[in-house]
Amino acid sequence: MLLVLLCFLGVVSYLNLKTKEKERHKLSSSLIQAIQKNRAGEVDKVDLSLLTSFSWDRLYVFGPYTLPEKIDMALGHYWIGSRFTEIQSSDGISLLIFTNNAQVVQYLEFPRSQGDFSLVTNETGYSITEAKFSMDEKGQIIWAFVNK
């Protein structure tokens, strides 16, 4: 009986992992397309809330070589997922972490060649209403804060 339960939990975990991977791929593709439209002048701003298919309330962005401990401090708790990304050893990506009620619901290792989030220094993250940006002529992110 215990073996059946462990197998069931393993299958559920595997399926959840595959779902998250599909979400990341879809989000990455959508973000690349939105950035291209912004660069072409087709859209004024990229609104991350419109590109996601999951619930979130805060976005954290980390540049290359960020240590997992710094990510933990920003999130306010230990997150094992940061230990399985390339953020601490790669200068080719930025790490976008989406949380809901302070729990990580999704993350994205986004290539800096597609849009450079690396100069972001806001360690408190961005609310869902602040997660709008445009690109400058060098391909770097300029955040557009909405005050309501």
For the chain, what are the domain ranges? Answer: 2-143
Model confidence over 51-71: pLDDT tens digits?
999 999 999 999 999 999 999
Is residue 132 a contact partner of residue 48, using CB atoms and an 8 Å limit? yes
Distance CA 138, CA 115 (A): 9
More confident call, 87 vs 20: 87
- pLDDT of res. 13: 43
Distance CA 55, CA 39 (A): 27
H or E element in which residue 93 lies: strand 93-100
pLDDT of 22 > 70? The answer is: yes
Distance CA 59, CA 106 (A): 10
Is residue 41 a contact partner of residue 67, using CB atoms and an 8 Å limit? no
Q: In what order do the strands lie in the sheet with 126-127?
A: 103-111, 93-100, 58-62, 126-127
- pLDDT of res. 37: 92
